[in-house]
Structure 1
Amino acid sequence: MKAKWKGDLYKNLLWECASSTTIPEFEGNMKIVRITNPALHDWLKEINPKHWSRAFFSGLATSDVLLNNLCEVFNRQLIGGRDKPIITCLEYIMEYCMKRIVVVLKQIAKAEGHLTPKASIIFEHIKSEASNYSVMWNGTSKYRVRERGGQDQCVVDVDARVCSCRRWELIGMPCKHAVAVNWTMAQYGMNPGPPETWFSEVYWMDTWKKVYKNTINPINGVNLWTPSQVPTIIIPPKHHSQIGRPSKKRKKSANEEIVPVKHGKMSQRGNTVTCNKCNAKGHN
């Protein structure tokens, strides 16, 4: 997409569609894309939205992440050990993971509250939005939640832990509508519990601690290893060193290849230039 449609305008239009949680919201954002740029709309229509729009996700992941940045960051950290022999590469990965776990354990020791620090920041934003909504109970487990002075209106089922905006079931965090219902239930003595308890367990501090309680144990050096009693001897494979300095960059797939952009202009790599004066090709 970046190779054909550059700029924040198209990027924001894409994110509006990707972040939509309901199909009507997705279709409304796609109409805006079609009005802005029909070619971009037709290009996006060719891609199945179940692969890139939250409105078509199942909710099994219980995550607010739409990017693979976590994998890319980890992959980038391994550049230093990628060109090493297999044992050295594994030791490099082990050392990085040991350091990473220690860093997170220090963050956990400083953190307070029922939720992880990131979830707490998001929850503060949700609470500020929930204060603008009014709630009406229907006598069962369902509540109508309406925005004061707005058109947003949803139905929350506290027993099923779902909202018609689908954010609660997709992300695992109670949406602004659910938080408003929680406050109303507490106001009338229905004892719903703190809103933090309505979060999925993946956002709890206890879960975060359980994830990082398993550490990587250090190992002894080669001089303390027990010699193997297996009679089979594994010899190194035949290897021919290539000419030139080996590349450390990860080889990208065809789908990842993007034409580079410098100073707001597309690269002319692979293109034949044309002279503006004589209209001849091959020079400028």
Structure 2
Amino acid sequence: MVNISSKKAYRTKRKARETIKGCDMEQYERLWDYAATVRQSNSDSYIAIQINRRSIEQRATFQRLFYDLGALKKGFLASCKPIIGLDGCFLKGPFGGQLLAALGKNGNDNMQKGLVHAIEELFPGAEHRFCHKHLFENFKAKFKNSELRELFWVTTSATNVDDFKRALNALEISQPQNGEDLTVASWLKRLSYHLWSRAYYGIAAKADILVNNLNESFNNCILKARDEPIMTLLEFFRRKLMQRLTLKKQGMEKYGGKFYPNIVEKLAKVTSVVNLQRRSYSCDAFQLTGIPCVHAIFAIQSMRMKVENYVDECYSKKAYLRAYAYSIGAVPSKDHWIDSGIQLLNLPFVKKQPGRPKKLRRRGPDEPRDPLRASKKGLTIYYKRCLKAGHNRELVKNLLIPNQSCTRYI
């Protein structure tokens, strides 16, 4: 047994980590070379590095980086739905920072108040939708009445304007205005209906999604890599996406159907004035998603026609394969990187906060610590021996009420 100090143990751990995952200083210094190598091995890729330079003689300091692989860009433009999910997460490394991700959505079946002005300025005319899960978290923080929660989801999920107005009116009746107190209806009305109401969504994207689950899944997928050095992090993304593109393409090539498996499953579940020429119905679900609703399916089947002929082309196998037709190229080891000839970069400036850095994100008030384990919060607990509510081992052992017994039932 060898006795070493805690400082020596930490230094040994840091050196081992640098050997396995790479040195932060070296990776920031060679960031220009890595970007040039990725562009060479992946055509049409775009990598932009923003720096802060005080003088020509001094080294520049890294600020931020934009990373876009050509295969992903071309696949999105070729066949993905015209909808992008935006979300961010914090990095856990010694320099902190945030990772902002923009993800597209294929047809095989997801934004927030702070982004409204940015979207309007940078993408004028683009449709902007809120994630209803985040909107609901803000709703729960302001309004504690649990009876209004169901009306909230009915209002935001209505697919046509008439149903939306009826649901919004029900909200106003359930919580009438009391002086200047803020109500749920008045809180929702402060936001444009096009941001949060499915009834006012555009039909070009062929998507009625209400939540940004796509980005949430991505954040969970990269969780173990968020404390890695910058190049190790970027290489994790590239390899993960390279494997995924190949896997999805091979899986769909083996599939024999005309449309995506998830879409066929949705059509199978609905076996039940429709305008089949315009592919629309008064409930608006048909034209919003591009998938025949139950009313449209009934009309199609009554005319002895195939339901598949009225599904939008974006859900077809051909469209799926167009999205995954491009592959991400391999990047050689650092010994074979291109010498960009650009001055080396300094590490980003970071203000070290007191205390141990946090690794876990802040959870919502109603979010369980372990999502796979059912919570007993709010349930009535019965003692297994007497099956009486509120009893436990200590209470039964020290009963204060005379003549009260605890009988074990067999």
- Calculate the TM-score normalised by the size of structure 1: 0.68
Which string of whole-angstrom CA distances, capped at 9 and with x for unpartnered residues, describes residues 130-180 of structure 1?
x3xxxxxxxxxxxxxxxxxxxxxxx22222222222112111112222222
- Supply the distance in 2 between the matched residues of 1:239 and 1:44 (Cα, whole angstroms): 41
- SS of the aligned residue for 1:177 comes to helix
Q: How does 1:273-284 map to 2 (within 5 A)?
A: none
2:344 to 219, 234, 238: 234
Higher RCO structure, 1 or 2 (CA under 8 Å, sep 6+): 2
- Supply the distance in 2 between the matched residues of 1:15 and 1:213 (Cα, whole angstroms): 38
1:220 to 332, 339, 364: 332
- Supply the distance in 2 between the matched residues of 1:224 and 1:241 (Cα, whole angstroms): 34
Q: How does 1:37-52 map to 2 (within 5 A)?
A: 37-38=175-176, 39-52=183-196
Do structure 1's residue 18 and structure 2's residue 156 form an aligned pair? Answer: yes
Do structure 1's residue 174 and structure 2's residue 318 form an aligned pair? Answer: no
- Mark the CA change 1:11 to 1:183 in structure 2 (over 3 Å): closer, same or farther: same
Do structure 1's residue 2 and structure 2's residue 140 form an aligned pair? Answer: yes
Q: How does 1:152-163 map to 2 (within 5 A)?
A: 155-163=273-281
- SS of the aligned residue for 2:154 comes to helix
- Calculate the TM-score normalised by the size of structure 2: 0.49
Gapped regions of structure 1 (runs ≥ 5): 132-154, 187-191, 265-284
- SS of the aligned residue for 1:60 comes to coil
1:102 is displaced (CA, Å) by 4.1
Gapped regions of structure 2 (runs ≥ 5): 1-138, 177-182, 369-376, 379-410
Counterpart position of 2:231: 87
Which string of whole-angstrom CA distances, capped at 9 and with x for unpartnered residues, describes residues 75-123 of structure 1?
2323333343332221011122123334434542554422212111211
CA RMSD of aligned residues (A): 2.9
1:33 to 171, 176, 184: 171
Percent of matched pairs sharing the same residue = 29
**Contact kept in structure 1, 2:198 and 2:208, CA below 8 Å:** no
Which string of whole-angstrom CA distances, capped at 9 and with x for unpartnered residues, describes residues 205-247 of structure 1?
221222122222222111223434x3x3223246457255444
**Contact kept in structure 1, 2:203 and 2:289, CA below 8 Å:** yes
**Contact kept in structure 2, 1:21 and 1:55, CA below 8 Å:** yes
**Contact kept in structure 2, 1:3 and 1:258, CA below 8 Å:** no
Which string of whole-angstrom CA distances, capped at 9 and with x for unpartnered residues, describes residues 25-73 of structure 1?
1111123323333433333233322111111112121113111110121
- Supply the distance in 2 between the matched residues of 1:258 and 1:177 (Cα, whole angstroms): 39
1:56 to 191, 200, 203: 200
Read off the aligned partner of 1:234 and give its amino acid letter.
Answer: L
- Supply the distance in 1 between the matched residues of 2:348 and 2:256 (Cα, whole angstroms): 55
